[in-house]
Amino acid sequence: MLKKSKTPNYIKIAVDIAHRIINNEFIEGSKITGRTTLVSIYKVSPETIRRSIALLTDMNVVKVNDKSGIIINSRDSAKVFLNKFKTQSDFSSINNETYQLLAQKKIIDEKIDNNIKSIIQFATQLRNVGTIIPFESVVEKNSIAVGKSIGELNFWHNTKATIVGVKRNGEIFLSPGPYFTLLENDILVYVGEDEVFQNIINYIKAPK
């Protein structure tokens, strides 16, 4: 008895017959006495066998003679049939997997969005009760900060902000000293009173 799967039984039977031809279990030019024999082998309905044989006939793997029964026509055609089926099967598998991954991605994206909203909410609450929450600002192109060290920029004097870290290309440099040189697209991580955020924006956006 064939096990249940997403592949229809008549296709599984056609594939199995093609495999048997390639493995010389069914010899090219030999006969299978008829659909009744295949029904007893695969334990399925005559209609299922009819569809399997029709599929193999279309691919020139077998031919049907009303008097002689089913004749194995071509071992090479059996190989072509299996290769074609494998390509279709692989495509179907990749297609199904892609839809599953997209569905999973949607769920993950929704969770990330919800977590970000929660983080912002918690951060706001913590700032309101006096807990220090760092700010972040990006060093944009043509900023006065590009190519200059923190010391050269007199950062605290000009902004009243204390830089606690710099994010660059996925890395974070903690407690950068006065000789640390800033580059375009660096992300400054800093602390201070609420007004330092605007101070930083105004200062590092200034053109060179």
- Rg of the Cα trace of the chain? 35
DSSP 8-class letter at 67: T
Long-range contacts of 102-106 (CB under 8 A, 24+ apart): none
Q: What is the pLDDT of residue 56?
A: 92
CATH level 3 topology of 135-205: Alpha-Beta Plaits (3.30.70)
> Quick one: pLDDT at residue 66?
74
Fold identical between 9-86 and 135-205? no
What's residue 208's pLDDT?
Answer: 63
**Structural domain boundaries of the chain?**
9-86, 135-205
Give the span between the Cα atoms of 139 and 88, in whole angstroms: 51
Q: In this predicted structure, what is the pLDDT of residue 131? A: 53
Q: In what order do the strands lie in the sheet with 135-138?
A: 135-138, 187-191, 162-168, 171-174
pLDDT tens by residue, the chain, 208 residues: 444 446 788 888 888 999 999 998 889 888 876 677 788 888 888 898 899 899 899 989 999 887 778 889 999 999 988 888 776 665 556 666 777 878 888 888 888 877 777 766 665 555 555 556 688 899 998 899 999 999 999 988 999 988 888 999 988 898 888 999 999 999 999 888 878 889 888 898 867 6
Decide: 146 and 203 in contact? Cβ < 8 Å. Answer: no
Helix (H, G, I), strand (E, B) or coil at 188: strand
Q: What CATH number has the domain spanning 9-86?
A: 1.10.10.10
Q: What is the pLDDT of residue 196?
A: 86
Print burial letters for 58-96: b (CB count within 10 Å at least 16), e (below 16). ebebbebeeeebbebbbbebbeebbeebeeeeeeeeeee
